[in-house]
């Protein structure tokens, strides 16, 4: 099985490179290549800060978090990146979370499922947004954003700023139409190129390029990692996405 294969590779001194998902609870993984998932969250938070004028005292704005699956370590990093950027404004009262649900566990959407996001959004609207505007939704993926949008069917306030991640064609259409404000693009070709360069370095007996040696602990070891950079896609640069 997969675990046995990892152990055999370790015994034979064969380096193992994890691609975009970190294998938990093993010391057989040598390197990891992924996107900067904390940076994805940071980018979401910074975009919101800029668009809402929070640095110059904007607000108060209402906000709700819709994080990724609680079984996904990348989702936790994304949440933390966004929360760390927005927390100072929550502390100052410029951002208010009417549901009171702002920690990762209570905002995680099981399996990244849009239907689960839709059900949670409907409940939040019913309980906290009758006669009140929802200004911002930090949605961790395009799929979660779609669920949020569907869950807003009974909402009568002004339309919120809604984030996403993946910049897929449906999301780009929603950005064009104003249903979503922006999405984060993680270009798979960039990830593939970096992984191939890692493989080449290992085969040639050298050390691959690494830019993070502290973040990605799989429960047994902290795995040397290369983090690729994502980018924000909004109405101003939709044309740069080539897929």
Q: Could you read off the pLDDT tens digit of each residue along the chain, which spans 243 residues?
A: 788 899 999 999 999 999 998 999 999 999 999 999 999 999 999 999 999 999 999 999 999 999 999 988 889 999 999 999 999 999 999 999 999 999 999 999 999 999 999 999 999 999 999 999 999 999 999 999 999 999 999 899 999 999 999 999 999 999 999 999 999 998 889 999 999 999 999 999 999 999 999 999 999 999 999 999 899 999 999 988 865
CA-CA distance, 81 to 32, in Å (whole number)?
Answer: 20
pLDDT at residue number 242: 66
Stated length of the chain? 243
pLDDT at residue number 2: 84
Write down the pTM of the prediction. Answer: 0.87
* Long-range residue pairs from 165-174, CB within 8 A, at least 24 positions apart, any chain: 165/40, 165/44, 165/78, 165/139, 165/140, 165/141, 165/230, 166/141, 166/142, 167/142, 167/233, 167/241, 168/142, 169/243, 170/142, 170/146, 171/142, 171/145, 172/233, 172/238, 172/241, 174/145, 174/146, 174/149
Residue with tokens 């800060």: 49
């Amino acid at each position: 099985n997969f675990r046995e294969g990892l152990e055999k590779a370790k015994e034979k001194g064969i380096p193992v490179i994890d691609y975009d998902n970190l294998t938990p609870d093993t010391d057989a993984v040598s390197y990891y290549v992924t996107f900067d998932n904390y940076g994805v969250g940071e980018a979401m938070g910074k975009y919101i800060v800029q668009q809402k004028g929070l640095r110059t005292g904007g607000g108060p704005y209402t906000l709700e978090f819709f994080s990724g699956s609680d079984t996904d370590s990348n989702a936790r990093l994304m949440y933390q990146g966004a929360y760390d950027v927005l927390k100072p404004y929550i502390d100052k009262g410029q951002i208010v979370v009417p549901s009171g649900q702002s920690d990762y566990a209570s905002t995680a959407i099981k399996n990244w499922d849009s239907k689960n996001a839709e059900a949670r959004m409907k409940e939040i609207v019913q309980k906290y947004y009758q006669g009140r505007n929802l200004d911002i939704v930090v949605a961790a993926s395009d799929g979660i954003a779609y669920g949020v949008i569907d869950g807003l069917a009974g909402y009568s306030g002004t339309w919120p700023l809604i984030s996403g991640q993946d910049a897929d064609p449906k999301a780009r259409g929603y950005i064009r139409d104003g249903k979503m404000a922006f999405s984060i693009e993680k270009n798979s070709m960039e990830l593939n190129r970096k992984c191939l360069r890692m493989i080449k370095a290992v085969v040639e007996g050298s050390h691959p390029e690494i830019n993070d040696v502290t973040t990605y602990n799989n429960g047994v070891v902290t795995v040397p990692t290369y983090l690729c950079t994502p980018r924000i896609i909004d109405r101003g640069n939709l044309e740069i996405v080539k897929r």
